[in-house]
A and B are shown apart, each in its own frame.
Chain A
Amino acid sequence: MLQGLNAIQLRNNIRDGQITSREAVEWTLERIANLDPGIGAYLSVFADKAMDQARVVDAKIAAGKPVGPLAGMPIAIKDNMCYVEGLTTCGSKILANFKPPYNAHAVEKLLAADAVIVGKTNMDEFAMGSSTENSGLQKTVNPWDTSRVPGGSSGGSAAAMAAGMCFAALGTDTGGSIRQPASLCGIVGLKPTYGRISRYGLVAYGSSLDQIGPLTSCVEDAALLLGVLAGHDERDSTSVDERMAPVPDYLGELGKPIDELKIAIVPELIDKAEASVRDAAKAALELYKKFGATLVEVQMPHFDYSIAAYYVIATAEASSNLARYDGCHYGYRSPHAHDYIEVYSKSRAEGFGAEVKRRIMLGTFALSSGYYDAYYLKALKVRNLIRQDYTNAFAKADCLMMPVAPTTAFKLGEKTDDPLQMYLADVYTIAVNLAGVPGVSIPCGFDEKRLPIGLQIIGPAFSEDKLLRIGRMFESKTDYHKQRPTLQG
């Protein structure tokens, strides 16, 4: 009945009275009950609360009152955004029982738009990972092939979307954590410009890199969600105000193609991906040429250094952001601690998983006395060079296109023993976060195993409206985004 509807279609149907929000929520909850035991996308489902919210929206519509742009729509959020309903665990044992006394800005925005939050999704612990295998609480698999990872760290949100267990989802992206799982799950994932959406209430990983963004079934839905979430918030000093970056009507102009579109490419970067990914990206570029776009070859001489710079900057910030989980004021406290020092060191040792410990230690090392200049300061300088690469590219073109991930979804356990190999999976996405610019992943094909492939479109700061229009051009002539895995449940 509701299968195959995108978020806007569902919203319109609810608003027009063709279906109630309650029916949509019931349908979604039933689907979660049937399918999620085999997928593991959700950490918590708020069945009663969601039904209550749906009833409120239905009552508004029945009374002819105005409703928000997400009226009655079942939405999932990654479990690193504070929501007063239930727990906010960040995929970690250390926060396994944490009930935040406040809502994240993004959550407030969803609620104000009359969305229905059906549940919270699994993730790599503290958003550290590219496969969701680092979750301290649960395993999530890729709905296209349950022996494979959904990508990460927003793997729960991506899997829930791909399996049709919600109509839109929120994720967060620090080094590719929205775009990469979107690519691996065959959906659309948008990482907005740093500062576009308030981080208030988002549990921090790398504060200068983290951004919230939507995972949706199509570009149009991404535009709808971004319109709801974007804008200034006085509680986040790094969220930009209207003067610096007004929020455009992302949906309004979406259907208009870009004339004389110039696309920057770095050929040797595309060639680095495995064959199926490379070929899909090249085919996508050919299609854009048919729309009249011209390809401009550019140099990104510092691109190769982005992973190294990222793993210094993100882990340095993380080592400090995660210092607060100490068993004193909230969160897990070790029962084996005898003095207050052990409350720290045992609670943290028992509460954090291996990857989180590795990154905390790496970041601590990079900031520690004697190493700061060689690692942290050096990485900040390289970050500036990487940003400059983007500035130069965008001087010549409207956007930059490249794959999202070097491979399609890999097998569960394939990279867990080799952290460095796992880090290299983020090669195409990380530089975007370092530069603070927006990037979107859209479905652009399948490999021979029928695993989805994503195309990444990157633009200058605050060019999301343009990126979405460019993405929409592709969608209008393809149906990759409409394909869904066959699921038994």
Chain B
Amino acid sequence: MNQNINRQQVERVAHLSRLDLTEKELELFSGQLAAVVEYIQKLNELKTNGVEPLAHCLPVHNVFRNDAVKPSLATEDALANAPDRTDDFFKVPRILDDSSGA
């Protein structure tokens, strides 16, 4: 199996990561990531049929909280670190395409 990473994929991944990379960075990272990805393919030496994926180390489940109100931050504290604001809103350059949606 060869699932290595080439320049084109590095560009795609940079876009998915919202990183506006320079030409020089793209060049550098393509080489470095290729080396790391090649190293990672070492995993393929192991047979893992029937092995459960382990996402959590602890056998913990059902950790809930009660539906009880806790104080929120004061609006000023919530906005204190905002790079830009308008009234009590966070301000960002106009969002044109509406690709929101839960």
CB atoms of A and B under 8 A apart anywhere in the complex?
Answer: yes
Name the residue in B32, B39, B82, B94 with the highest tally of chain A Cβ atoms < 10 Å from its Cβ. Answer: B32
| Interface locus among A116-124, A139-147, A381-389 | A381-389
Contact of A339 among B44, B57, B77, B94 (CB under 8 A): B94
Contact of A378 among B21, B29, B44, B73 (CB under 8 A): B44
Cα-based distance from A208 to B54 in the complex (angstroms) = 10
- Residue A480 interfacial (CB < 8 Å): no
Residue contact A348 to B17, C-beta cutoff 8 Å: yes
Closest residue on chain B to residue A322 by CB atoms: B17
Cα-based distance from A368 to B25 in the complex (angstroms) = 21
- Residue A19 interfacial (CB < 8 Å): no
Within 8 Å CB of A333, what residues of B? 83-84
Residue contact B58 to A436, C-beta cutoff 8 Å: yes
Within 8 Å CB of A364, what residues of B? 13, 16-17
Residue contact B82 to A329, C-beta cutoff 8 Å: yes
Within 8 Å CB of B25, what residues of A? 354, 357
Give a binary string over A318-338; 1 marks a CB under 8 Å from any B CB, 0 the rest: 010001001111111100011
- Residue A358 interfacial (CB < 8 Å): yes
Residue contact B58 to A378, C-beta cutoff 8 Å: no
Residue contact B48 to A382, C-beta cutoff 8 Å: yes
- Residue B86 interfacial (CB < 8 Å): no
Residue contact B54 to A384, C-beta cutoff 8 Å: yes
Cα-based distance from A341 to B96 in the complex (angstroms) = 10
Within 8 Å CB of B39, what residues of A? 307-308, 311, 420
Residue contact A385 to B46, C-beta cutoff 8 Å: yes
Given A365-B5, A365-B13: A234 and B65 interface contact (C-beta under 8 Å): yes
How many chain A residues touch the partner (CB < 8 A)? 71
Cα-based distance from A244 to B61 in the complex (angstroms) = 12
Tell me, rounded to whole Å, the shortest Cβ–Cβ distance linking B53 to chain A: 3
Give a binary string over B1-43; 1 marks a CB under 8 Å from any A CB, 0 the rest: 1010100011011101111111001001100110111011111
Residue contact B93 to A338, C-beta cutoff 8 Å: yes
Within 8 Å CB of B16, what residues of A? 364, 368
Within 8 Å CB of A354, what residues of B? 25, 28
Contact of A330 among B41, B60, B81 (CB under 8 A): B81
Residue contact B36 to A357, C-beta cutoff 8 Å: no
Within 8 Å CB of B53, what residues of A? 377, 380-381, 383-384
Residue contact B3 to A374, C-beta cutoff 8 Å: yes
- Which A residues between 329 and 366 are near B, CB-CB below 8 angstroms? 329-333, 337-346, 348-349, 352, 354, 357-358, 360-362, 364-365
Within 8 Å CB of B13, what residues of A? 361, 364-365, 368
Given A244-B60, A309-B43, A345-B19: A362 and B33 interface contact (C-beta under 8 Å): yes
Within 8 Å CB of B78, what residues of A? 101
Closest residue on chain A to residue B45 by CB atoms: A305
Tell me, rounded to whole Å, the shortest Cβ–Cβ distance linking A143 to chain B: 31
Tell me, rounded to whole Å, the shortest Cβ–Cβ distance linking A244 to chain B: 7
Residue contact B80 to A436, C-beta cutoff 8 Å: no
- Residue A237 interfacial (CB < 8 Å): yes
Residue contact A362 to B36, C-beta cutoff 8 Å: yes
- Residue B69 interfacial (CB < 8 Å): no
- Residue B51 interfacial (CB < 8 Å): yes
- Residue A302 interfacial (CB < 8 Å): yes
Within 8 Å CB of A410, what residues of B? none
Tell me, rounded to whole Å, the shortest Cβ–Cβ distance linking B44 to chain A: 7
Residue contact B36 to A194, C-beta cutoff 8 Å: no
Cα-based distance from A436 to B58 in the complex (angstroms) = 8
Give a binary string over B60-102; 1 marks a CB under 8 Å from any A CB, 0 the rest: 1001010000000100011011111000001011111000000
Closest residue on chain B to residue A378 by CB atoms: B43
Residue contact B92 to A101, C-beta cutoff 8 Å: no
Contact of B3 among A305, A307, A348, A371 (CB under 8 A): A371
Beyond A308-B39, A385-B46, 16 extra complex contacts between A and B, CB < 8 Å? A101-B77, A194-B58, A244-B60, A329-B90, A333-B84, A345-B20, A348-B17, A357-B21, A357-B25, A361-B17, A368-B16, A383-B53, A383-B54, A419-B32, A420-B39, A423-B36
Q: Which 3 A-B pairs have the closest CB atoms?
A: A436-B57, A380-B53, A330-B81
Would you mind naming 16 contact pairs between A and B with Cβ atoms under 8 Å apart? A195-B57, A237-B63, A238-B56, A308-B40, A311-B40, A340-B95, A345-B18, A345-B19, A361-B17, A364-B17, A378-B48, A380-B53, A381-B52, A384-B54, A420-B39, A423-B36
